[in-house]
Amino acid sequence: MNTVGTIFRVSLFGESHGPAVGVVIDGCPAGLPFWREELMADLSRRKGLLPGTTARRETDEPEIISGIINDRTTGAPLVLCTRNNDFRPGDYEQFTSIPRPGHADFTAGYKYKGFSDMRGGGHFSGRLTWGIVAAGYFARKILSPAIISATLVEAGGEKDTTAAIARAMETNDTVGGVVECVVKNVPKGIGEPSFMSVEAALGMIAFGIPAVNGVEFGAGFASSRSYGSMHNDPFIDARGKTSTNNAGGINGGITNGNDLIIRVSVKPAASTGVPQKTFDTARGEMADLEITGRHDACIARRIPVILESAVAIGLADLLMIDRGINGPRDR
């Protein structure tokens, strides 16, 4: 169930310490231009290398397996992957008797009966988001001239995200954050009824990003504290422009042409350096757990380009449902 999309179908694969992670994109129109440097720029944003992100140094260089020739998509499935090189087996281990709090150790161990590859988080690793970013690259081309941009708007509850991250680093701890994504020039009239509304489609993909545990559109949870007379966005022209945008550019699950706004909550990374007490299943008693190795103080820092990509993937699919793989995409 690693696939999302009806027409523009994106499938993630790979494990953190396996040979590679990557993505299959099926249903991509033929003829889209591919510039390696452009994709590398997106991938670099994901990698971070900012204060508060870890030191794992992968080149993240994309390898093209299929679907591109002469720097254009061919219409056949696109497969891109990147090799995993820089992992230190000592940092992580296979299942131990102490499942780490906040990680998939316990649940994956139970579900996959001990067969899953949990080194470095395995298939549950944030490294899988490489494929989301790679797919987002092509989705953006399909959505052009839409402009999609996301930023970390809050960390540890503060707008001054740097201060919050610094404080987490000082205590060897991790901190959560909020990332907001805005889409300008969004195609108007996309989004299908019920479970394929813009919110449902984008919500599903956004929740597919590890560590995302909340998603809201427009005013979102703030609107639960508001009144209809204040929340409604009055139209001010015949083309659907509104004076406010509490709806985040969506009415009835369909884009109205105003900026699309989505915000996600990113939980603090489970791999905190602060010592924890948790259950040792072998000894049958509580135990001390100290997580070593390199870890992000604020994984939310990496999320903007991933969220942009997730949004692009969802919107590209909705656009193609409306207008087809080979239909015109401007309207």
CB of 145 to a second copy, least distance (A): 19
**Any contact of residue 136 with a second copy (CB under 8 A)?**
no
Tokens (6 digits) for 236: 């001010």
**Any contact of residue 178 with a second copy (CB under 8 A)?**
yes
With contacts defined by CB under 8 A, name the span among 38-46, 54-62, 137-145, 241-249 that binds a second copy: 241-249
**Any contact of residue 170 with a second copy (CB under 8 A)?**
no
> Contacts from 287-291 at CB under 8 Å and sequence distance 24+?
287/98, 289/98, 289/100, 289/101, 291/100
Residue 210 CA to residue 125 CA, distance in Å, equals 8
CB of 23 to a second copy, least distance (A): 10
**Any contact of residue 143 with a second copy (CB under 8 A)?**
no
With contacts defined by CB under 8 A, name the span among 39-47, 48-56, 134-142, 174-182 that binds a second copy: 174-182
Tokens (6 digits) for 80: 């891109």
Tokens (6 digits) for 285: 């008693």
Rg, Å, the chain Cα set: 21
Nearer to a second copy, 44 or 107 (CB): 107
Among 36, 57, 111, 184, binds a second copy (CB under 8 A): 111
End-to-end, the C-alpha distance of the chain in Å comes to: 33
Task: For tokens 């696109």, name the residue.
Answer: 78
Among 242, 301, 307, 312, binds a second copy (CB under 8 A): 242
Tokens (6 digits) for 331: 């309207």
Print burial letters for 231-258: b (CB count within 10 Å at least 16), e (below 16): bebeeeeeeeebeebbbbbbbebbbbbb
Residues forming beta bridges with residue 265, ordered by sequence position:
178, 214
**Any contact of residue 104 with a second copy (CB under 8 A)?**
yes
Closest CA to 170 of 258, 264, 52: 52
CB of 286 to a second copy, least distance (A): 7
Q: What track of x and - describes contact with a second copy for positions 185 through 224 (by CB under 8 A)?
A: ---xxxxxxxxxx-xxx-xxxxxx-x-xxxxxxxxxx-xx
**Any contact of residue 274 with a second copy (CB under 8 A)?**
yes
CB of 1 to a second copy, least distance (A): 3
Site for a second copy in 7-66 (CB under 8 A): 7, 9, 11-15, 18-22, 24, 26-27, 30-31, 63-66
Q: Which helix (H) or strand (E) holds 251?
A: strand 250-251
Among 41, 49, 55, 286, binds a second copy (CB under 8 A): 286
With contacts defined by CB under 8 A, name the span among 43-51, 85-93, 141-149, 261-269 that binds a second copy: 261-269
